Amino acid sequence: MCLTVILENRPMRIQVIDCERCGAPLDVPKKRRYVTCSFCQTQLRVYREPSLAYTRALQAVSRRLDNIQHENELERIEREWDMEQAEHPEEIRTGEQTKQTELTNTAAFSGALILMIGIAVFEDPLAAVFSPFVIWWIVVSVRGYSQVATYERAKAAYEENRQALIRSGEDDE
């Protein structure tokens, strides 16, 4: 329903819309987007469509906005994790590197132990010949372990951030 009201020699179209909360009729100027119900004091957002006009309490709009922001934050964390994962080799992401690193570390430790025993106890020149290979093996295994540890720390941080965000969304509801 529309009424025409004349204020200061200028006609102003008024639309009667009901308050979402208490149902009281509200006289809302045509271009007004926000009103406060004079009966229940609820702050309202006015929505207009071609065939209808209605109100929504700003608290409800605010909750929906909070939900959208929460979902966007979760999506942002997921995108960042996808980019972070792309920086790590596939072997590490699939867990294959972890198994290889454990075997490599065991082999490197054994090789280093044999090298030390060979040099210290037997003063075996053969042990000195194999030392560059053993040292290379140790460097490779430490590097692999470091890559796996970096990935696991990043994954733990991602999972912690994601769970904290999910918990905060549950607390808000």
Better pLDDT: 16 or 47: 47
Report whether 38 contacts 28 (CB < 8 A).
no
Short-list 18, 52, 12, CA closest to 32: 12
Round to whole Å and give the CA distance between 69 and 86. 26
- Please say whether the beta carbons of 159 and 122 come within 8 A: no
User: Is the pLDDT score of 68 beyond 60?
Assistant: yes
Please tell me the pTM assigned to this model: 0.48
Q: With beta carbons less than 8 A apart as the criterion, state whether 40 and 24 touch.
A: yes
Q: Of the candidates 4, 89, 17, 103, which has an alpha carbon nearest to the alpha carbon of residue 53?
A: 17
Domain boundaries in the chain? Answer: 1-86, 88-172
- How high is the pLDDT of residue 160? 93
Report the mean per-residue pLDDT for the chain.
75
